[in-house]
A and B are shown apart, each in its own frame.
Chain A
Amino acid sequence: DAEITQSPRHKITETGRQVTLACHQTWNHNNMFWYRQDLGHGLRLIHYSYGVHDTNKGEVSDGYSVSRSNTEDLPLTLESAASSQTSVYFCASSPRRNTEAFFGQGTRLTVV
């Protein structure tokens, strides 16, 4: 079955290190998104992409970057991890605009 997978599921890293979270979908969806989930804030959009080589900043993009070299993958990079980036990160994809998105299982990142 087609799916969206995130890896790793759990990660502990040190302040200042570069970290990359992977997101891979097998639906051939054009649109992909990264959100972070924090208590009391729901989910907030970090970056999104509407197709290969397209990337856009979301509401909380500072300290994060993405690249889209193919349809299936949208890796999220924390350039220099900070304790404020401790969170649960969700990747999502959708087939076209103005429709629902499908979410991965999430990555719990702890920055110590």
Chain B
Amino acid sequence: AQSVTQPDIHITVSEGASLELRCNYSYGATPYLFWYVQSPGQGLQLLLKYFSGDTLVQGIKGFEAEFKRSQSSFNLRKPSVHWSDAAEYFCAVGAAAGNKLTFGGGTRVLVKP
């Protein structure tokens, strides 16, 4: 069965500092990987996705993620965070036979001024 682990429940970062959110997955076949962001009281917005090809993926809002098959990881990064990046971030893996998703538990990001 597929699974996703986000080891960090909360991360606090200063505005302007870099951010890295960890994601480890377990999946038997080629994974389809996603990062979503959820602002308070809102739905989920797709930040980026990896299906195949270049292992460094660029997304919206200045985010990027790197797929490392050997480490079963898909970590999300941003060089310089803005106060508006405070939100909850979810990593997810899609099944090869369809796109039902398995989500990690989420990482809540707080941004200090």
Report B43-66 CB contacts with A as 1/0, cut-off 8 Å: 111100101000000000000000
Number of chain A residues whose Cβ lies closer than 8 Å to a Cβ of chain B: 26
- B9 surroundings in chain A (CB, below 8 A): 40
Indicate whether A98 sits within 8 Å of B104 (C-beta atoms), given known contacts A43-B90, A90-B44: no
Please give the distance in Å from A64's CB to the nearest CB on chain B: 15
- A110–B32 CA distance with the chains assembled, in angstroms: 33
Instruction: From B43, B51, B97, give the contact of A103 (CB < 8 A).
Output: B43
- B92 surroundings in chain A (CB, below 8 A): 43
Please give the distance in Å from A66's CB to the nearest CB on chain B: 13
| Contact yes or no, A97 B34, CB < 8 A | no
- A105–B105 CA distance with the chains assembled, in angstroms: 19
| Contact yes or no, B105 A40, CB < 8 A | yes
Instruction: From B6, B98, B103, give the contact of A97 (CB < 8 A).
Output: B98
- A40–B96 CA distance with the chains assembled, in angstroms: 26
Identify 7 residue pairs between A and B in the complex whose beta-carbon atoms are under 8 Å apart, listed by A's number.
A35-B103, A41-B105, A42-B103, A43-B103, A48-B98, A100-B49, A105-B43
Mark B residues whose CB is within 8 Å of A. 4, 6, 9, 32, 34, 36, 42-46, 49, 51, 90, 92, 94, 96-106
